Copies of this chain bind each other. A is one copy, B any other.
């Protein structure tokens, strides 16, 4: 039986069946399926900058025929000291059915889920959840290989600051893939051990079907971290140089949540290379967000 949920805030909500349903629906949208929900009002509340996630959600919303109501946090009553709860209560009173939100505070959505009928779709909370990114990653893998069972996935880089690494690893494992981690050892810790081992980068590369690079999120570093970080050093030690990429299997794919720090995580020439799925991920993101929004809308209509 299909699981319904009012809000879409956490990767933990996604079991195997839900993952497969969402992927199937997103692939159908990509193949040309359409849907129209013109009575649904949505507002995108981005308290952190993001071109790609914000724009992707807005295209998804318009493709579904939703009414998109603009919201600029820098001009909002949050400046007059209004709490996030009262902002959501306000939007609910005004008739906003869905609030797509990004906010720097982890778990910001906890207190917003029971106060009104407005559904919360989490588009990123600090270093926490980012379920639509996880789902578009999974869709891209599924689209490439047709299955998850037996795939070997390597996740490389700044695991500790990543919104997505932990939830991708958990769901991929659950779907039958095996996961390994690499990158700077200091960014790995025992909390990842249940999902996969930590291995050296040159050992990892020839084995994987999917190489998931993580973004070095310099903007989340503290001052000490930022000063000690040398881009060229990172690239030489932990980045995918053209030489390292030659160790990949020919059918292996390179993924990255973007924006890429060119010549840090990945050699610039490889960003648009034949094994890169980075822009395919973005493209798929629109269709996956359509599927996720539709799931919320259907739950509301059945409520």
Contacts and interface: CB of A to CB of B under 8 A. Distances in A.
A49 B62 CA distance: 26
A86 interface: yes
A25 interface: no
Interface string A233-274: 000000000000000000000000011111000000001100
Contacts of A43: 55
Interface of A: 41, 43, 46, 49-52, 54-56, 58-59, 62-63, 67, 69-72, 74-83, 86-87, 89-96, 219, 258-262, 271-272, 279-280, 282-283, 285-286
Contacts of A56: 94
A285 B80 contact: no
A55 B80 contact: no
Contact of A260 (B49, B86, B262, B285): B86
Nearest to A272: B89
A87 to B, nearest CB: 6
B87 A51 contact: yes
Given A41-B62, A51-B75, A55-B90, 15 more contacts: A46-B75, A49-B76, A51-B71, A55-B69, A58-B69, A59-B67, A59-B96, A63-B95, A70-B70, A82-B259, A86-B258, A89-B272, A89-B279, A93-B280, A94-B282
Nearest to A71: B55
Given A52-B77, A80-B49, A80-B259, A282 B93 contact: yes
Contact of A69 (B62, B78, B81, B82): B62
A122 B147 CA distance: 44
A34 to B, nearest CB: 11
Contacts of A87: 51
A293 to B, nearest CB: 15
Nearest to A45: B51
B94 A283 contact: yes
B283 A95 contact: yes
A83 B56 CA distance: 18
